[in-house]
Amino acid sequence: MLLLGALKKKVEEFLLSNTDSVNCISIMNLARLYDMKTLLADARSYLQEHVKEVVETEEMHLLQEGDLIEVLEANDSQEDNFLFIQNTVIAEKLMHNTRCLSSRVQEFMRSSGSADPPKQLSLAVSNDGGEMWLCTDLNTLKWQPIQQPPFEIHDYSACASPG
């Protein structure tokens, strides 16, 4: 489709000027598919600079594992990283796919930057329907449903560790 050099260049120029939080993940994947190095670098840069906006888009499920890892490593904020990984997990409903969840959770824990991590790591996630799960052993990734709090929560996240 984009095999003609001049047309490919024009499409790349157009996409470079129209990258935003709603389409940057699709543009990254398209740039990778058609070997558009400048467009790929621009879309990656946009993603890293606008993580908070991109997390809120419906394109999160299109993010490739390598791109997820790159974003986590480039971002210094543990809170932003936590929100990013939480939204990725929720968007893809990975609670039901232990192998995928395992690699993403382990990568998040490795990239958290803690020099002295707690002995027992836990992770709690929820979906937008209010269902909540807790994993107290990240080695086995056994998820247990947990009861919702008696009050209503909208669009909040929390991260805590013992110590």
The angle that helices 24-33 and 37-49 make with each other, rounded to 10 degrees, is 160
Q: Are 138 and 123 in contact (CB under 8 A)?
A: yes
Distance CA 91, CA 84 (A): 10
What are the structural domain ranges in the chain?
A: 5-112
Q: For residue 159, how many other CB atoms are within 10 A of its CB? A: 13
Residue-level pLDDT at 95: 45
3-state secondary structure of 143: strand
Distance CA 53, CA 22 (A): 8
Q: Residue 113: what residue type?
A: G
Identity at 17, one-letter amino acid code: S
Tokens read off for 12: 């790349």
Instruction: Answer yes or no: is pLDDT of 134 > 70.
Output: yes
Structure-model confidence comparison of residues 159 and 54, the more confident one: 54
89 within 8 A of 101, measured Cβ to Cβ: yes
Structure tokens at 146: 């947990």
What is the structure's pLDDT at 28? Answer: 95
Looking at per-residue confidence, does 162 or 38 come out higher?
38
Q: Tell me: the pLDDT tens digits for 95-132?
A: 455 555 556 566 665 555 554 555 566 777 777 677 77
pLDDT at position 30: 94
Residue 29 near residue 62, CB atoms below 8 Å:
yes
> Using CA atoms, how far apart are residues 73 and 21, in angstroms rounded to an integer?
19
CB 55 within 8 A of CB 84: yes
pLDDT digits (tens, 9 = 90+) for 31-87: 999 999 999 999 999 998 888 888 778 787 788 888 888 888 887 877 777 877 777
57 three-class SS? coil
Q: For 16-37, what is each residue's pLDDT tens digit?
A: 999 999 999 999 999 999 999 9
